Amino acid sequence: MPIIAFWSNRKKETAQTLSMIAIATHMAVENNSKILIVDTNLNDKTVERAFWPVGQTLNQQVTSQLGGGKIDIGSGIEGLSKLIASGRDAGNLITDYAKVVFKGRLEIIPSFIPKTQEDIPRIIGTYRELVRMANQQYDYVFVDLPKGTDTDWVNQILDISNVIVLNMTQRMSDMDDYIKLKENNQLFSKNNILPLIGRYDKYSKYSKRNIARYIGEKRDIPAVSYNTLFFESANEGEIGTYFLKFRKSLISSQDRNAVFVNEVTSAAERLVLKVQEVAMMR
């Protein structure tokens, strides 16, 4: 079962988290895949806010949009970290500590909000083992990682990931940085790197094809463009509803969301293909 790390070396905005959310939700809805999203960023409500309205507390029970089940999601990563620290195999218990978007399809381990600085080392020391255990229970484990390679635990998760989705923009500096990473960093010299363009502007001269040619990729680079309704849904806790409403099989080609949905579909297909390619080479 593949681990998919979403990561960027650039401190500037690459729409990494929203791109991950779009692809993961699409795959859960369209492919009927069982997916876990693990948000390893601290004090970041982006993922949680995308699926649940602001004001819904972690102590509330969440009714899934498919299946009607309820679970107590109060403990999250903090509860899992205690289980893992005790030496127990928490793999089959992860779902009890996750927030459910679609029952049996999409679950979330939200960002950790530390009460004290002393809590942080214990939590970040849990993520690698959590991801490894989740790998045995889910079809795909999506991991949203902090930017950069200046922390050992981030590098450790990158190292065990089946595919690293390297998020970039249409800036020339991002393209040059990608080339340097591939040439100089062993983590990114393997065949498991999938570049992804966030907030893609199709009118830029740096098109998917041109960027691919510049950085030496044989295929066009997958992309996720800016979409107003998707962005609004991500701020209102409505991403689940968005992808149920605009399913590939339901959306009209004339709908203003069609281009975005088609891009996300293509990006998801490229990700699955990359997973298959990496598996064949091992």
Which amino acid, 121? P
pLDDT along the chain (282 residues), means of 10: 92 88 96 94 94 64 39 63 75 84 94 88 90 91 90 93 96 94 90 95 94 93 95 96 89 88 96 93 76
pLDDT at 55: 65
Q: Output the pLDDT for position 64.
A: 38
Distance between CA atoms of residues 282 and 268, nearest Å: 22
DSSP state of 186: G
Give the other-Cβ count within 10 Å of 117's Cβ.
Answer: 7
- The enclosing H or E element of 160 equals helix 152-160
Write a three-state SS string for 46-115: HHHHHHCCCCCCCCCEEECCCCCCEEECCCHHHHHHHHHHCCCCCHHHHHHHCEEEECCCEEEECCCCCC
pLDDT of residue 249: 77
pTM of the model: 0.90
| CATH entry 3.40.50 includes domain 3-164+228-265 | yes
Number of helices (H), then strands (E), in the chain: 12, 10
The reported pLDDT for the residue numbered 66 is 40
User: What is the structure's pLDDT at 95?
Assistant: 86
